[in-house]
Amino acid sequence: MTAYDRNRAEPRNARLLEPGRTCCGTPRANRFAMIVDAAEYFAAAREAMLAADDTILLVGWDFDLRIDLAPGRDDVEGPTRLGPFLKYLVRRKPHLRIRVLRWDMSVLYNLGTQVIPMIALDVEASERIKLRFDSNHPWSAAHHQKIAVIDDSLAFCGGIDMTTDRWDTRGHLPGDTRRRQPDGRESGPWHDLTAVMDGDAARDLGRIARRRWQRATGSDLPAPSDYRDRWPTCIAPLMEDVDVGIARTMPPYRDQPRVNEVENLALAAIWSARDTIYLESQYFASQSICDALRARLSERGGPEVVVVNPLSTFGWLEQHTMGTSRDLRLTEITRADRHRRFAIYHPVNAAREPIYVHAKVLVVDDRLMRIGSSNINNRSMGFDTECDVAVEAASDDQRAAISDARDDLLAEHLDTDTATIRQTLSETGSLLRTVETLRREDGRSLEPIPRREVNSLEETVTKARVADPETPAQLESRATHIAKQAVLRVPPSAWVTAGATGLAVVLATGALRNAVRRRRRRSG
């Protein structure tokens, strides 16, 4: 029985946030808000960190100490680049501790430009600031959670890393020089999301971050003893006094059993949908999620499904793995969508440049909103570490807030306002027809993503899931499968080159991970 089949056994009106199955708990937040794009997130995070007295915990896939948190601003307190800003914070507050934890393998992406500044800051700051690489994961898995916790009183959790290419405004302006990267490179428009909350929800996210730190370093971090109001003045709460479900993905590793709350919550939400499912994600590749969507689309009277993705993925490798996987999933869904209730789009800015979508959000009817780090791919369901937060409406006000959040996102993409979204939705009675009514052929809008036909070799490679496994065991078995399938298709001479390249990558990766582990043991 699949995870989706297990959810189908539940009544459609059953509670979605179920501790132990779809989340690890539902702590109360005094205030909760959605933050759209990194300009707003970095501003809110800076304000909160400036107010911190005890502990700042930063957990992420990547950090780049060179990035500008407030480009173009000369009216803010302290340095605007991340590294100098962290040093400024500990100089101001004698008891403040800052802990930064990043996935160990992310250093491979920017080995020369990031490792030396991080080590230099770690040495210079002594015990006040500690930066560590987290290698506590199965081979080739990623630590993908993005959590920032201030004094255990305020927490951010979502899809935005404090690294390069992330900063952008909701305007996604063409040629915005504030997106210039530390190396001088111009970065394109980028759409992203995170959530902010306080109260017990922030405290529980602090526990998750401290547990990650303990498992990575062997050192315990004491929790702050009392609550402080750290809510940033630049953010208006979306909801107040709301229970927040915290859903995780954790792969089985050493003494850690598999946790797949993220997948269970997504499948339960899809099964419960009455009218609409709205998704934003970097990928559209998860077999279990797409199978669930396909099942709902095949029903007469099932929900509409609107997906927002980037037009294309980054680089040759991603395009030939995650991009091809999306093409396969779209082919399957198109066959099942007999009632024409599915559409997938990508956003463009005023100059018709594609806006890269890195946001991870799921909105089901006016009932559930989930924001987090998990993508719609197999890795996020069981192989990488993920952390999402979700709100399930328990009142009319909360239902209205969830609808407002979805309409706000659509209004941004369609270059209109939420009142127009609501009015058009009322007139058409359809989320999909609302998008089609408001889409434009010029200027900022949403554009349909074309489906590409996949050849047999691409299909074999993609179905093997070597680049996108759901479990560590699946990676090993699938790698064996693809080798057997491919051996007759590739001339022997090519295997020599491929083998030498693969061996070099494995040796280099192993050497780097061993060095990281040695340094962690010395300094943890």
**What is the end-to-end Cα distance of the chain in Å, rounded?**
43
Give the global pTM: 0.88
263 belongs to a structural domain: yes
Query: What proportion of the chain, given as a percentage, has pLDDT over 70?
Result: 81
Q: Of 401, 432, 448, which marks where a domain is finished?
A: 448
Residue 383 structural domain: 241-448
Q: Of 213, 238, 263, which marks where a domain is finished?
A: 238
- Higher-pLDDT residue of 115 and 254 is 254
DSSP letter, residue 66: T
Q: What is the band of 522 on the pLDDT scale with cuts at 50, 70, 90? A: very low
Q: What is the band of 257 on the pLDDT scale with cuts at 50, 70, 90? A: very high
Same domain, 73 and 147: yes
pLDDT at 469: 80
Which CATH number does the domain housing residue 335 bear?
3.30.870.10
DSSP letter, residue 256: B
417 belongs to a structural domain: yes
Query: Per-residue pLDDT averaged across 219-242, rounded?
Result: 95
Same domain, 398 and 272: yes
Strand partners for 446: 347
Whether the per-residue pLDDT at 474 is higher than 70: the answer is no
Whether the per-residue pLDDT at 399 is higher than 80: the answer is yes
Whether the per-residue pLDDT at 473 is higher than 60: the answer is yes
| Nearest-angstrom CA–CA distance, 477 and 428 | 48
Same domain, 302 and 409: yes
500 belongs to a structural domain: no
Same domain, 397 and 422: yes
Amino acid at 507: L
pLDDT tens, 359-392? Answer: 999 999 999 999 999 999 999 999 999 999 999 9
State how many domains the chain has. 2
- 6-20 core/surface letters (b: 16 or more CB in 10 A; e: else): ebeeeeeeeebbbee
Whether the per-residue pLDDT at 13 is higher than 90: the answer is no
Same domain, 282 and 299: yes
Same domain, 266 and 345: yes
471 belongs to a structural domain: no
Whether the per-residue pLDDT at 43 is higher than 90: the answer is yes
8 Å CB contact between 454 and 331: yes
Rank 17-21, 116-120, 452-456 by mean pLDDT and report only the highest. Answer: 17-21
495 belongs to a structural domain: no
Q: Of 101-115, 225-239, 325-339, 509-523, which range is least confident?
A: 509-523
Same domain, 53 and 38: yes
- Higher-pLDDT residue of 497 and 119 is 119
Same domain, 414 and 275: yes
| Nearest-angstrom CA–CA distance, 521 and 524 | 5
Whether the per-residue pLDDT at 7 is higher than 80: the answer is no
pLDDT at 498: 44
Same domain, 252 and 396: yes
Q: What is the band of 451 on the pLDDT scale with cuts at 50, 70, 90? A: confident
Q: Of 238, 264, 288, which marks where a domain is finished?
A: 238
pLDDT at 279: 99
Amino acid at 333: I
C-alpha distances out from residue 428 to 432, 434, 437, 484, Å: 9, 6, 9, 52
pLDDT tens, 119-162? Answer: 666 656 668 999 999 998 998 899 999 999 999 999 999 999 99
pLDDT at 476: 52
- Is residue 523 within a helix (H) or strand (E), and if so which, with residue range? helix 492-523
pLDDT at 314: 74
User: Which residues, including other chains, have CB under 8 Å from residue 385's CB and lie 6 or more apart?
Assistant: 137, 141, 142, 143, 144, 145, 212, 248, 249, 250, 251
Same domain, 277 and 414: yes
Chain mean position to CA 356: 13
Query: Per-residue pLDDT averaged across 110-124, rounded?
Result: 59
User: How many of the other CB atoms lie within 10 Å of CB of 493?
Assistant: 8
pLDDT at 125: 60
508 belongs to a structural domain: no
Whether the per-residue pLDDT at 207 is higher than 80: the answer is yes
510 belongs to a structural domain: no
Summary mean pLDDT of the chain: 88
Helices (H), 282-387: 287-298, 315-318, 324-336, 379-382
What is the DSSP code string of 176-241? -GGG--TTSPPP--EE-EEEEEEHHHHHHHHHHHHHHHHHHHS---PPPSS------TT---SEEE
Strand partners for 352: none
Whether the per-residue pLDDT at 506 is higher than 80: the answer is no
- 120-143 core/surface letters (b: 16 or more CB in 10 A; e: else): ebbeebeebbbbbbbbbbbebbbb
489 belongs to a structural domain: no
Whether the per-residue pLDDT at 465 is higher than 60: the answer is yes
Q: What is the band of 324 on the pLDDT scale with cuts at 50, 70, 90? A: confident
Q: What is the band of 2 on the pLDDT scale with cuts at 50, 70, 90? A: low
pLDDT at 481: 44
Same domain, 232 and 283: no
Same domain, 193 and 253: no
Whether the per-residue pLDDT at 516 is higher than 60: the answer is no
Q: Of 101-115, 147-161, 205-219, which range is least confident?
A: 101-115
